[in-house]
Chain A
Amino acid sequence: MNDAAPDQARKAPREPDTRSTGGTPGGILGTFRDKGGALFRSTEIDARLFGLVVALGISWIAFDFASGIWGQGGKSIFGGSFLTPRNLWNLSVQTASIAVMATGMVLVIVSRNIDLSVGSLLGFLAMIMGITQKEILPAIIGFENEFTWLIALGVGIAVGAAIGAGHGFIIAYLGVPAFIVTLGGLLFWRGGAFVLAEGRTIAPLDSTFRKIGGGTDGSLGRLSVDLGLGSETLGWVLGIGVVLIFIGVVVHARRRRRGFGFVTRPLWAELLVVAIGVALVLGAIRVLNAYPWPIRVAERFAEARDIPIPEGGLILATGVAYPVLIMIGVAAVMTFLVRRREFGRYVFAIGGNPEAAELSGINVRWTVMKTFTLMGVLVAISAAITSGRLDAAVNSLGILNELFVIAAAVIGGTSLAGGIGTIPGAVLGALFMQTLQSGMVLIGFGTAQQNMVIGAVLVAAVGIDAAYRRRAAT
């Protein structure tokens, strides 16, 4: 866990050069014919991702207003409780599990497949990891061993990879449609989760494993304090690291383009993109650092450490939670896989035209099997996040998650026809889905209304996207 920071810093989550992602080279070219459009175009910001960010911004402000009116009220700029550091911190943690799976679902859908089993598999793998750490390992290395979390996570990932590979093998080599295989998986693994523990709840979990799910202890603020630094330190180190890498990537890309004699963005556009990126990253760090430790948690911490509590309470920054670091790390690695490795190119080629891909020498079956294996690994990571956060493994964990994951990928611009999709889009899609869900709880909407809204938004998002594509095609 502790080395997740440098890990995720390896690559900035946002990159200006979105052209080569997926099968939309130049998709936005020719769409905007007016002058403003031309200016926008020269920034090379993906118009569809941009639209999603705008929708996200609008819904955040709307929820904040609404929660001020219908909720218990709050003290944010619009009078509600949505745009408070606490809620945004919650939102970031709640998004992580779905977002991690959604990055894998993008590849699955892009290669013209689907995975309906992820929710059930999440329940099954959470149970595997729970049993490993609570019932198998204690007999060998005792409770609360410092390696317990790592072994449990490793076992979960290995089993997840094996199950994913199994799904992939049946789909790719035995020719059973992915819809059927994973529909079977949906039933099978949910039942399997029940059988594993005979319906029992495995709790509480290992205290280090729990940090994978976040909480005050599972955040950079606590780690900073433990290292003897100010509680905000590591958050800023992370933010600045990401910013530097981001700038490095932009500069590198510009040099390369010039080296190949390609058209480069105008300097002002380059600077604008950098400025927006830097502002978003540092703004996010600022907000997450602004969420202080809950009063009682801080008090207990002070008691345990014999620290006097200053007047006005002990204010420590919670900072970026580990599940969010994991999410950023996964998104960065997946983006790298998609855009810089053969594997990613192959997946998009298969989605664009399977026959052509086959004829051009791509091992289609092997590639498809790999996407499902990867999906299994990502589900295991999400299972660790969800069960760590709940501090329990329960066989009902992850119910309906397959629908949220698929919806996140689709809202993020992944086409169910295959061949099109982006990793950052899927993460934003997950964030949007979670925004709707937790926002509606804040304003007191019930489950029925929530489901209606989410359903309508899903259809609207895909509808707008389809209309946009048609326009772009003409």
Chain B
Amino acid sequence: MQRLRMETAALLAMAVAATGTMASVGAVTAQADETVVAVSWREFQEERWALRDKPAIQAVLEKAGAQYIETDAAGSAEKQIADIEQLINQGADVILILAVDPSAVGPAVNNAINNGVPVIGYDQLIEDPRTFYITFDNVEVGRMQARAIQDVVPEGRYVFIKGNPADPNSDFLHGGQLEVLKVAMDAGKIVNVGEQYTDGWDPSVAQRNMDQILTDNDNNVDAVVASNDGTAGGVVAALASQGLAGEIPVSGQDADNAALNRVALGTQTVTVWKDARQLGAEAARVALQLAENPDLNAVEGSTMFSDGPNGANMVSILLEPTPITRDNLQLVVDAGWIAADELCAGVESGSVDACP
């Protein structure tokens, strides 16, 4: 969600050129008898893949006695195609792909499938019905944000602080939000009194936009649907400057430490938690099954997904994210996602269950 926004196409090209020259990892050669699960990562620079997803995948594989190999495309679509070829040559029985560019990875996917290696699109849709798709349901995230806010304020003047306009997820999220609120909006119970995208998901941009929307409405705002925790932070700062933090419900997503702390403090209503470790573990499970039996439809718990840009029928697993409010904060503490003292910093003890 919070990937850096490259300033211009030129910069992007330069960055790709620079990182593309870095050597790839994963020179392990597999032994013939054990199952080999390969992952082609998009970009290890982004913290979460190495820190949360990879260990979860490895843990499941280790338990099953399967071998793990990987490559890092370092953000280059060309390199990823070469990476995947290399993984096939290393004897991968199944490949998880976090695509740099889902539409450019096609030749490599063909190559894998022609070699009898099943492919799983990991967190990023590769719209080819021969591949499996596993991700968190982003539209559902938007729905959860809207539901949590609507529970608190069923009628009133709503503000929408959307994500980066260049990120397709921003519109998935907003679509989910509107889906939930549509009936109430059509009935005139909920009024949209301000709506802005947030360039680069930058919280200070969200803060400025919220400042202006509050000025425009003379503080006559009842609820704010913000699309992630960064923008929610900006919104809460703007509300705080009017002494309104904690009085107007605000949504978010990502379960950032700062946002979880705000939920405990009561200045943010909800954050939607997508536990990357759950995604990793589930994907590893699917990979092991496909290595046994390459029939996608035989994967336990799979459903059909056809909301992609081309409407292709994909066998998929869409994991349900978890909305976190002050009532179920204990979940993130128990999961080891955040330390209790960080969650409860500045929180009056006993005001929420998770901070005794």
Known: A94-B208, A390-B207. A448 touches B216 (CB 8 A): no
A384 to chain B, nearest CB (A): 13
In the complex, are the beta carbons of A201 and B257 less than 8 A apart?
Answer: yes
Residue interface mask B207-219, A partner, CB < 8 A = 1: 1110111011111
- A90 to B218, Cβ gap below 8 A? no
Q: A87-B215, A94-B208, A300-B243 are in contact. Are A446 and B197 (CB under 8 A)?
A: yes
What's the least CB distance linking B202 to chain A, in Å? Answer: 5
Asked if B202 and A399 make an inter-chain contact with CB atoms under 8 angstroms apart, the answer reads yes
Contact code string A383-421 (vs B, CB < 8 Å = 1, else 0): 000100111101011111011000000000000000000
Contacts A186-B11, A442-B216, A446-B197 given; does A296 touch B244 at CB 8 Å: yes
Kindly identify which residue among B4, B45, B208 contacts A396, using a CB–CB cutoff of 8 Å: B4
**Stretch from A22-30, A190-198, A222-230, A280-288 forming part of the interface with B:** A190-198
User: Are B243 and A299 in touch, CB under 8 angstroms?
Assistant: yes
Contact of B258 among A71, A203, A442 (CB under 8 A): A203
- Which residue of the partner chain A has the closest CB to B194? A444
With A186-B7, A296-B247 as known contacts, state yes or no: A81 contacts B208, CB within 8 Å: no
A429 to chain B, nearest CB (A): 18
Flag if B243 contacts A392 (CB, 8 Å).
Answer: no
Query: Do A84 and B241 touch across chains, with their CB atoms under 8 A apart?
Result: no
Q: Is B215 a contact partner of A81 (Cβ separation < 8 A)? A: yes
* Chain B proximity of A71: nearest CB distance (Å): 5
Q: Which of A187, A191, A295, A389 contacts B204 (CB 8 A)?
A: A389
Q: How far is the CA of A403 from the CA of B8 in the complex (A)?
A: 11
- A187: B residues at CB distance < 8 A: 11, 14-15
A186–B8 alpha-carbon span in the complex (Å) = 12
CA A295 to CA B243, docked complex, whole Å: 8
B contact residues around A370 at 8 Å (CB): none
Residues of B within 8 A of A71 (CB): 216
CA distance A402 to B258 in the complex (A): 27
A406-447 CB mask vs B (1 if < 8 Å, else 0) is 000000000000000000000000000000011001101011
Taking CB atoms, residues of chain A closer than 8 Å to B304 are: none
In Å, the complex CA distance between A214 and B256 comes to 25
Q: Which of B183-240 contact A (CB under 8 A)?
A: 193-205, 207-209, 211-213, 215-220, 229-230, 233-234, 237, 240
Whether the pair A296, B242 counts as a contact (CB closer than 8 A) is yes
Q: Which residue of A lies closest to B5 (CB)?
A: A399
Given A194-B47, A201-B256, verify A399-B199 contact (CB < 8 Å). yes
* Residues in B whose Cβ lies below 8 Å from that of A190: 4
Q: How close is B178's CB to chain A, nearest CB, in angstroms?
A: 16
* Cβ of A376 under 8 Å from chain B: no
In the complex, A113 has a CB within 8 A of chain B: no
CB distance from A95 to the nearest CB of B (A): 11
Q: Which residues of chain A are near B211, meaning CB under 8 Å?
A: 90, 94, 438
SS class, residues of chain B in contact with chain A: helix
CB neighbours of B207 from chain A (8 A): 389-390
Q: A200-B256, A203-B261, A399-B200 are in contact. Are A294 and B219 (CB under 8 A)?
A: yes
Interface size on B, residues (CB 8 A): 55
Q: In the complex, what residues of B have CB within 8 A of residue A87's CB?
A: 212, 215
Is A441 a contact of B209 with CB atoms below 8 Å? yes
Contact A86 B2 (CB under 8 A): no
> CB-CB < 8 A to A200: which residues of B?
256-258
B215 contacts which of A90, A203, A391 (Cβ < 8 Å)?
A90
Interface centre among A183, A190, A389 (most CB of B within 10 A): A389
Least Cβ–Cβ distance between A234 and chain B, in angstroms: 20
| Residues in B35-64 with C-beta less than 8 Å from chain A | 45-48, 51
- Identity of the chain B residue whose Cβ is nearest the Cβ of A198 in the assembled complex: B47
Contact for B242 among A199, A294, A402, CB less than 8 A: A294
A446 to B220, CA, bound (A): 21
- Chain B residues near A437 (CB-CB < 8 A): 208
Kindly identify, within residues 199 to 239 of chain A, every residue whose CB is under 8 Å from any CB belonging to chain B.
199-204, 214-216
Q: How far apart are the CA atoms of A198 and B259 in the complex, in Å?
A: 16
Of A186, A191, A446, the contact of B45 (CB 8 Å cutoff): A191
Complex CA–CA separation, A396 to B204 (angstroms): 9
Q: How far is the CA of A186 from the CA of B241 in the complex (A)?
A: 31
Complex contact A396–B197 (CB within 8 A):
no
- Return B138 CB to nearest CB of chain A, in Å: 19
Residues of chain B within 8 A of A20, CB atoms compared: none
**Min CB–CB distance B28 → chain A (angstroms):** 27
Which residues of chain A come closer than 8 Å to B220, judged between CB atoms? 72
> A residues within 8 A CB of B116?
none
0/1 interface trace, chain B 91-121, chain A, CB 8 Å (1 if under) = 0000000000000000000000000000000
A72/B217 contact (C-beta < 8 A), A199-B47, A203-B233, A296-B244 known: yes
The contact of B216 among A67, A186, A391, by CB within 8 Å, is A67
Q: A396-B2, A447-B199 are in contact. Are A403 and B7 (CB under 8 A)?
A: yes
Are B216 and A81 interface neighbours, CB within 8 A? Answer: yes
User: Shortest beta-carbon distance, A224 to chain B, in Å?
Assistant: 19
Measured between alpha carbons, how far is A446 from B213 in the docked complex, in Å?
A: 12
A74 beta carbon closer than 8 Å to chain B: yes
Q: Are B203's CB and A198's CB within 8 A?
A: no
Contact across chains for B233 and A394 when beta carbons are under 8 A apart: yes
A253 located at the interface, meaning its Cβ lies under 8 Å from any Cβ of chain B in the complex: no
Tell me how far the C-beta of B6 lies from the nearest C-beta in chain A, rounded to whole angstroms: 9
Q: A294-B242, A438-B212 are in contact. Are A397 and B203 (CB under 8 A)?
A: yes
Alpha-carbon distance A398/B213, docked complex (angstroms): 21
Q: Are A392 and B233 in contact (CB under 8 A)?
A: yes
> Is residue A297 contacting chain B, with contact meaning CB distance below 8 A?
yes
CB distance from A226 to the nearest CB of B (A): 18
Contacts of A441 in B (CB 8 A): 196, 208-209, 212-213, 216
Do residues B7 and A72 form an inter-chain contact, with CB atoms below 8 A? no
B167 smallest CB distance to A (angstroms)? 12
A-B contact pairs, 19 of them (CB 8 A): A81-B216, A194-B4, A194-B47, A200-B258, A201-B233, A204-B261, A216-B241, A300-B243, A390-B204, A391-B233, A392-B237, A394-B230, A396-B4, A396-B203, A397-B204, A398-B204, A446-B196, A447-B165, A447-B198
Task: Rank and list the top 7 A-B pairs by shortest CB-CB distance, nearest first.
Answer: A296-B243, A297-B243, A441-B212, A399-B200, A201-B258, A203-B258, A294-B242
Chain A residues with a Cβ under 8 A of chain B: 67, 71-72, 74, 81, 84, 86-87, 90, 94, 183, 186-187, 190-191, 194, 198-204, 214-216, 294-300, 386, 389-392, 394, 396-400, 402-403, 437-438, 441-442, 444, 446-448
